[in-house]
Structure 1
Amino acid sequence: MPKFLLLLLLTVSGCLHAQISISGTIVSRADQAPLTGAYVYPLSAPGKVTTTDLDGRFSLELSEPDSVLVSFLGFKSFARLVTASDTAILWPLQPTDAASMDAITVRAKKIPNGELASTRISQMDIYLNPAANADPLLAVNTLPAATNVDETANVSLRGSPSEATGVYLNDVPIRSAVRLDQSNGVGQFSIFGQIPLADVRIYASAPPVNYSQTSAGAVALYTARDLPTTTNYGISLNLAGAGLSHSRPLGPKSGIRAFVNVANLDAFRALNRKGLPELKASNGFDAAVQFVHNFSEKSSFQLFYLGFQERFTFTTQSPYYEGDFEQRKPRHLAIANWQLERNDWAWSFNQAMDWENGQYRFGNSITEPRRLSGHAAVHGTYNKSGFKLKTGASTNVFADRVRGSFPLSDYAISPEDPSQTYYVKTDHQLVEAYAYGQLRLGEKWLVGAGLKSLYGFSTEEIQYTAQASLKYRAGKWHRFNLGGGRFAQFLSPGPQVREWQWLELRQLALEYTYERRFWTLEAALFDKQERYELSTDLRVSGAESRVTFDNKSLRAWASLAMVRSRSEAAGVPSRRDLPFLARAQVQKSFEGNVSLGLAASWRRGTYFLPVIGQMPIPGREGWQSPVFAAADDGTRYPNYRRIDLSASKIFPLGEGQLILYLSVNNLLNTENIRSYGYDATFENRSEEVFSRRIVFVGGVYNWE
């Protein structure tokens, strides 16, 4: 017996010290897609790290039983004890909770049949976009359908003004979706830059009738509705500031996600003095909280709050005065969503309140807007095999109070010059009701039609929207989508629309998609009539195309768009008249979780009216006022060219992962002319350019 026990002990000891070989595949739990570049390593020896290949496969040798950790950007890390060899491991990773401050990238994909959206952007795709700076709306502005002619987050789709493109968070319209903005509504970044998003959908034409306050297109953003299953932490540090994030379950039916961010651009300014010489100071504070509660499997509630306070100062110059433009704006946004399923119906009840109190100051001009926007809506969706019905109603309330002072003349604008105070009170209420039906005809055809009525209490007018769409799948790889109709919108003032007014927009768009293996070809033709109540009516038409190659480790695409935007009466080009707009991007993933990205854009310069003469200003010696060319005798700025670069590296670190990133906007430091500036004589002209080379670096660490 002792010999038997000794032999048994020796056998067990030998087994415990035998080499353990494991191999398998790492996939996403959401769609079972293989994850390329995931880290796999033993916790006792992090240096023995391996990464998954293009098919998500890995192999690893262990000297003894150990816990193996798997880590991948945007997914929850997890560890599992391995005690024996296994060559058929399948480990699915759960997408990370939305509270983590993971960088977001944009990998645009067509939405399958059954949806009207042209493009969907996942949360795993905005960060690697070299031109997006981790901002979802800046990422949207890199798509072929985007026709924004500046470098801001204001979204213009297929030649229409940004005011005609609705932006939504959790199905609630956001009146102003930008920050670091000016009194005219032009904003450098969106308010969503620090908000982790679960989904972004872009409707480049014919937005669905259930979206309120839109006509040309829509960008719909959604936060995660699922409950946090684990406790997560995140910390970020970059040239613009620092942030903390946290998520955790609150019992079996509730959970919370939150982040706080403190912004200070001193370090950013120090590194980019030549790139942003006008910026003198900028700081801010923002925080968000999301509470999720599941009453049952078919009923859930979500409350989201975002608040921020921002200030910035930059030097600006007019012909008659040079000084500081100062902006200060606190803002509070709260959104409540309740979802309920009953039999074949799915209901959602949405409420929102948006309040801001800004102050803008330049010379003797002061603008202090206080805006309160409210939204309430109920939406119902009926789903049966092959048929879908959507119906609902909403109301929007706008209460604007604007006070300040303005110069008594265009040239007397210094702080010492006299000014006139003013106070403007504006109240509007809009009610909308809609119905939309969608019917599948066999496996290849999908037809839809919708109708919406709109009533403005202040204008006492009834308007309507009528929409129709037809989708056809020709074989395995070809898809066609024809959509359009008449769309009505009560426009709020913004960068290109100065007064509240009705817009009637008629549009038709034909889209084509070809997908096979690694290749995707997209093309579109569109035509619009934009009829404004108080502005110049426009006729807009154009075409766009894009070719994409994507084999997981390498993604490259090139696009070309052409937009003709002219006044209907005289054929005068608008600023969005672009004879050509070319874009290209390359994103490459290397072993060791290293990613590089390169983006390029090239477009025709925008149309403007040059100064052709001067007229003396009485009482101001040497000062003159400009005489501009006739509307149909304008010219164009030089063509716009820009190249952006991004790089990132992911490191496994303890129970989490560290992400380091670098972005360089306008890599070649091209001086793209935004406008021309003049002195008080209007005889000496200078060039005012868009952003010069800008360098941005930072890091994010997430752990459980």
Structure 2
Amino acid sequence: MTARVALIVLAFALGVISEVVAQLPERLYGVVQDETGEPLYGASVYVLHHTEAGTTTDWEGRFSLSLKNITPNDTLIFTFVGYDTVSKLLSEIKTKDLIVKLELASALLGEITIEASRPIAETFSVAKIEKLQIYLNASAAGDPLRAVSLLPSSTNLDESASPSLRGSPSSWTRVYLNGVPVYRPVRNSTISGAGTFSLFNAELLKDELVFASNPPLTLGQSSAGLISLTTANKLESNQYDISAGLAHGGFLFSQKLGAESFVQAYANYQFDDWFLPVNKALAEDLKHFYTRDGGLHFVKRFGENSNIKYYGYLIDEGSDFISQQYNYTGLAKGRKKRTFHTLRYEIRSDRNVFFVNGGYDISDSGYKFGVIDSEQKEQQAYGSLNYKYIWSENLNTQIGVSDLYVKRTFGGDIPEYPFLVAPGSPIISETETEERHRVEAYFYGKWFPIEGWTIGAGVRPTIPINGQTAYLSGQLSAKYEWEKGNSLMLSGGRYYSDFVPVYDDVRHRIIRSDQIALEYRLDGEDLLANIGLYFKKERDLATERDILGLEYFLEQRFLTKFRANLSMTWAHGTEKSLGKDYPVSYLPPIFVKFGFDFQDPRLFSFGLNWQYRQGSYYTMIDGASFDPEKGGYIPSFSSEINGEQFGDYQTLNISANKLIPIGKQTIIVYITASNILDNKNEWEWRYTENYSDKSPAHYQRRTLYLGVVFKFGQVSN
């Protein structure tokens, strides 16, 4: 009996000793370094579920963190701008003097996530753009859609954020945010629908998937490419930013709401008071602009398997700029007010994912130029129900149904004759309203028959209502992956989608595209290569286009902090109309792009981008005659459609930024210079009234922008 009691007492004593050992020290010391062992100054160190327990590293990368009232089952987080986040369980830390190494954030495709939470068609995306790439791309200016321009699949000509992929018109590309379509996803937009920047804030994004060909039918219909943007699912730490620049001021507020939720809010104001005097060449055409916009992002997690995500945005913008149409050149005035909202709810288990997407978009825009005085009002509502099931390691399926409601009203004055726009020309005053539903269902399956092989197939039929015509889109993709990151993908399909009307073309219609593409990809540790061959046959009303293209992309990372990439694209486009064949005006045959960046947050980051392409095609106006009944000159066109070509285009852009830690906060100073060589790249011809003479208008001339961001992050305890 005595022995038994002694054993019990001994066991109790050992338990007490064990508890004592498990207790954390009151203070933890350590150092944060990069891959080479260099100290990182200003890195954030905090406890996951006690964000008030945080600090930043000093000039030697050292930190001292209080662990008072912290339990051993919590997690220590290490973050630094441009580096991958590192987490460590406190219970596994066996030393009071910790050494932590952070690696530069990887920009290569592929992240580790559970299969149930990944988009089912992500395997077949051509590119994935990370947030870091958006900031280091000198052509992107920190904009998610402008960052697409560096990809070989981008055939954009107008220096805008409106993405054109593999020779298709930019208006055919579809952009989705959290599974909800966002039409005309740009601001500072022109009458054609192109816009200088997108509506999205890169700080709020998790990733950006680009489907240059054969876009996934799980999202919706697109007769060209598709870009899928996803906002962040979690917030690493609280962050408060104030930014100011040559043409803007703004703030970003990111705050955790307990362990499972967070909110982000931002607002910006853009103005021209300083920007245009500094960039006088740009001010020759751009006379005035303003933008007031803001957004709200809220994520609420219900445990590990359920969450709700809301994103709301509003904008009020306007601009005055010199424009041209036929023989009239004058001041154009544009304005727009818009707000859109997206909501997503998701619940998942190991094998099941159910998610609901919803969106609402309303806008009011106006445009004045010559006799044109038009107004467009638009409402859009979208909803979808989706279910994904993981049958086994070899088979996934997803089904869903969606409804898109659109109401558009076009009104105002337009020229009676499109070539007579000058004040005093004949006009037509009219109002036209379009209202419709588009209900669709879809089925998509992904099969892994044997090791290395992935096969995906999908169909998306429209469900006709109110006498609509039914259409069936379908696609098939096969991908083979073998050792050392090599993969080969073949995909094809037929796609139908709605034409997005503009003021001078309000006819609703269905456009069609048949596509086939072959892609090879090498995804190595420091080397990324991609070769793509594609063919597309597009149909819009009585016009058909055949597009054949070959593209190549190579990216090499070296000496840890350097990266260079080169892409080359050859494309041949033929348009067929009224029995004649002629070149596609917006698809010159050669595109060459080169990018280089250096990233060392302790010193500075630098990016350079050079782009070259041949000039676009156009049809020559070879004369004009005065028509007294119409009251103006009527141009006569060359019989050789798109038989002329503008001069070659090239531009060199650079960007640089410097992180300056001050105490526990950080200041980022940045500068960008676009078209630094001030090349006069031809854009269009501007004619005199009787077409006897013409002069070229140019794309953006040399443009300088600089700014500063004040970052207020974790506060030491």
TM-score bracket for the superposition, by shorter chain length: 0.7 to 0.9
Other structure's SS at 1:358 match: strand
Other structure's SS at 2:160 match: coil
Determine the structure 1 residue equivalent to 2:381.
374
Give the distance between the partners of 1:238 and 1:597, measured in 2 at CA.
19
Q: Is the 8 A contact 1:445 1:473 kept in 2?
A: yes
Alignment of 1:134-283 (within 5 A): 134-193=142-201, 196-226=204-234, 228=235, 230-283=237-290
Q: Give 1:627 shift.
A: 1.1
Give the distance between the partners of 2:103 and 2:562, measured in 1 at CA.
22
Determine the structure 2 residue equivalent to 1:3.
none
Q: Give 1:528 shift.
A: 1.0
Say whether residues 1:576 and 2:586 are aligned partners. Answer: yes
Give the distance between the partners of 1:577 and 1:175, measured in 2 at CA.
23
Q: Give 1:416 shift.
A: 4.5
Q: Is the 8 A contact 2:83 2:102 kept in 1?
A: no
1:697–1:69 Cα change, 3 Å: farther
Determine the structure 2 residue equivalent to 1:610.
620
Structure 2: state its 5+ residue gaps: 1-27, 46-54, 68-75, 113-120
Alpha-carbon displacement from aligned partner over 1:380-403 (angstroms, at most 9, x marks no partner): 111231211111111111100111
Which residue of 340, 345, 360 corresponds with 1:333?
A: 340
Give the distance between the partners of 2:37 and 2:506, measured in 1 at CA.
48
Q: Is the 8 A contact 1:323 1:362 kept in 2?
A: yes
Determine the structure 2 residue equivalent to 1:296.
303
Other structure's SS at 2:147 match: helix
1:678–1:459 Cα change, 3 Å: farther
Give the distance between the partners of 2:65 and 2:364, measured in 1 at CA.
61
Structure 1: state its 5+ residue gaps: 1-19, 28-33, 51-57, 96-105
Give the distance between the partners of 1:74 and 1:515, measured in 2 at CA.
21
Determine the structure 2 residue equivalent to 1:109.
109
Q: Give 1:229 shift.
A: 6.1
Q: In structure 1, what residue type is equivalent to 2:609?
A: A
Other structure's SS at 1:269 match: helix
Alpha-carbon displacement from aligned partner over 1:211-230 (angstroms, at most 9, x marks no partner): 1131221101111122x464
Give the distance between the partners of 1:627 and 1:35, measured in 2 at CA.
70
Which residue of 687, 695, 704 corresponds with 2:704?
A: 695
RMSD: 3.4
Q: Is the 8 A contact 1:202 1:219 kept in 2?
A: yes
Give the distance between the partners of 1:510 and 1:598, measured in 2 at CA.
30
1:477–1:334 Cα change, 3 Å: closer
Alpha-carbon displacement from aligned partner over 1:136-161 (angstroms, at most 9, x marks no partner): 11111221100111111111111111
1:518–1:26 Cα change, 3 Å: closer
Q: Is the 8 A contact 1:71 1:657 kept in 2?
A: no
Which residue of 607, 611, 618 corresponds with 1:597?
A: 607
Alpha-carbon displacement from aligned partner over 1:621-674 (angstroms, at most 9, x marks no partner): 9x6332111244611111111111111111112322211111100010000000
Q: Give 1:117 shift.
A: 1.1
Which residue of 558, 565, 568 corresponds with 2:573?
A: 565
Determine the structure 1 residue equivalent to 2:673.
664
Give the distance between the partners of 2:237 and 2:57, measured in 1 at CA.
27
Give the distance between the partners of 2:417 and 2:476, measured in 1 at CA.
50
1:504–1:78 Cα change, 3 Å: closer
Q: Give 1:437 shift.
A: 0.8
Which residue of 124, 138, 141 corresponds with 1:130?
A: 138
Other structure's SS at 1:674 match: strand
Structure 1 window deviating more from structure 2 (311-320 vs 266-275): it is 311-320
Give the distance between the partners of 2:237 and 2:562, measured in 1 at CA.
33
Q: In structure 1, what residue type is equivalent to 2:480?
A: Y
1:630–1:130 Cα change, 3 Å: same
Q: In structure 2, what residue type is equivalent to 1:186?
A: A
Q: Give 1:200 shift.
A: 0.6
1:66–1:146 Cα change, 3 Å: same
1:36–1:293 Cα change, 3 Å: farther
Q: Give 1:281 shift.
A: 1.3
Q: Is the 8 A contact 2:599 2:605 kept in 1?
A: yes
Q: In structure 1, what residue type is equivalent to 2:337?
A: P
Give the distance between the partners of 1:254 and 1:365, measured in 2 at CA.
49
Structure 1 window deviating more from structure 2 (625-634 vs 559-568): it is 625-634
Q: In structure 2, what residue type is equivalent to 1:240?
A: A
Determine the structure 2 residue equivalent to 1:356.
363
Other structure's SS at 1:140 match: helix
Q: Is the 8 A contact 1:558 1:585 kept in 2?
A: yes
Say whether residues 1:39 and 2:28 are aligned partners. Answer: no
Q: Give 1:122 shift.
A: 1.0
Q: Is the 8 A contact 1:316 1:323 kept in 2?
A: yes
Alpha-carbon displacement from aligned partner over 1:471-515 (angstroms, at most 9, x marks no partner): 111332421011111111122225997632112211110100123
Alpha-carbon displacement from aligned partner over 1:586-606 (angstroms, at most 9, x marks no partner): 101247331111111111111
1:475–1:584 Cα change, 3 Å: same
Structure 1 window deviating more from structure 2 (577-586 vs 416-425): it is 416-425
Give the distance between the partners of 1:496 and 1:131, measured in 2 at CA.
31
Give the distance between the partners of 1:641 and 1:166, measured in 2 at CA.
27
Structure 1 window deviating more from structure 2 (611-620 vs 681-690): it is 611-620
Scaled by the length of structure 1, the TM-score of the pair is 0.86
Other structure's SS at 1:136 match: coil
Alpha-carbon displacement from aligned partner over 1:80-109 (angstroms, at most 9, x marks no partner): 99xx997761266999xxxxxxxxxx9463
Say whether residues 1:475 and 2:483 are aligned partners. Answer: yes
1:496–1:378 Cα change, 3 Å: farther
Give the distance between the partners of 1:455 and 1:46, measured in 2 at CA.
57
1:502–1:69 Cα change, 3 Å: closer
